[in-house]
Amino acid sequence: MYKPAPIRNIEQQLTRTTRIMVMVLILTLPGLIINPGDTLILGFIVGGIFGIINGYFLVKRMNSLVDLMSRKESIDRNKAKAFMRAGFYPRMGMIIGIIALASRVDFISVYGVGAGLLVPTVITVVDANIALYRYYTARDAVDKI
């Protein structure tokens, strides 16, 4: 018996990623309290916040695309690609802008911002893979009985 893999709704995945990322940011705050001038930790926190914002805008754009595709007069493939590209450039501009700002000021580390921007992506990938692993191990255990 075939069952599709349990891929979470994108809203649920964004909520889980945001919750985990907020916990990671809260866990980094003691380091900032112990060493207030640490540019790497402050950059990580700033990058993490902008990583969450970037994920929010990506999910919003994807939901808008699904709404456009589900209408009666749905758009064709080229218009869908153009729609997603139109949302990509502002998000990329935000990332480039925050990294450029971090390179200009002394109190934020560019490396910390880069790490903070990448952590939500890593959280999403790891969380989705853990869900798939749990699904397939539980399914195999039932199938072997």
pLDDT tens, position by position, 26-55: 999 999 899 998 999 999 999 999 999 999
| CA atoms in the 13 A half-sphere facing the CB of 29 | 7
- Structural domain including 42 reads 10-143
Does the residue 132 lie in any domain? yes
Q: What's the whole-model pTM score?
A: 0.84
Residue 1 placed within a domain:
no
pLDDT of residue 17: 94
Q: Which of 20, 19, 25 is nearest to 43 (CA)?
A: 25
Question: Could you tell me if residue 4 is inside a domain?
Answer: no
Please enumerate in sequence order all residues whose Cβ is within 8 A of that of 119, keeping only pairs 6 or more positions apart, or say none: 21, 24, 44, 47, 48, 51
pLDDT of residue 121: 94
Residue 123 lies in a domain: yes
pLDDT of residue 140: 61
Residue 5 lies in a domain: no
Total number of domains constituting the chain: 1
3 belongs to a structural domain: no
Q: How confident is the model at residue 135 (pLDDT cuts 50, 70, 90)?
A: confident
